[in-house]
Amino acid sequence: MTAVKNFIAARVAKELHDGDIVNLGIGLPTLITDHLDPSIHITFQSENGFVGLMPVEPGKEDPHIVNAGGIPAGIADDGAFFDSVTSFSIIRGGHVDATVLGSLQVDEKGNIANWIIPGKMVPGMGGAMDLVVGAKKVIVAMEHTNNGKAKILKECTLPLTAKGQVDMIITEMGVMEVTPEGIVLKEYNPKYTVEQIQEATEATLIIADDLQPMI
């Protein structure tokens, strides 16, 4: 499972550009920092109140520095701490170039449902609602299915986090772009046929004319 998540994270890392300010959701997105091109500089913003988020070496954890998921994190030498008001002013003010987060469901209209399954206990929505609306680009990084059940749907059935905000979906099966016409499969994992990818997807995929293997 970890290999699949790292495969997805490595592909997402290629979507980030030098100078970007990027917010990473909890879970899979936090692996992206392990796959960055060392020649580019990305400033990672943590919604709980700092910029300069980075991995921490085992054994050097500081109990006072955690990411938004409460996991020990590091901070870059040029990083800075601030309060939640400032943190969400950055997010809501459109200063985040990209946010990468997981999801329970995404649909062909770019709707996202990633915060609750009715009847199950959850800690809350967190900053997801603000991030998917405030960031300039929204990338959903997730496994393609949940125990074989489609997560990329014609229409989300779970309570929405936001409507029409997803720009890109990256899974272990492919790279997809959300367009006004629907979800376009831009890249595919050669381990799967296009037919297998479609079978695992409830939404009808539009196959790009220049479809490429995942890189």
pTM of the model: 0.95
- DSSP bridge partners of 135: none
Q: What is the pLDDT of residues 118-127, one digit of tens each?
A: 888 676 777 8
Give the residues of the chain that fall short of pLDDT 70: 1, 121, 123
Q: Which contiguous run of DSSP H or E holds residue 87?
A: helix 84-92
As annotated, the active-site residues are 47
Structure letter (DSSP) for residue 198: H
First to last CA, the chain: 20
Q: What is the pLDDT of residues 71-103, one digit of tens each?
A: 999 999 999 999 999 999 999 999 999 999 999
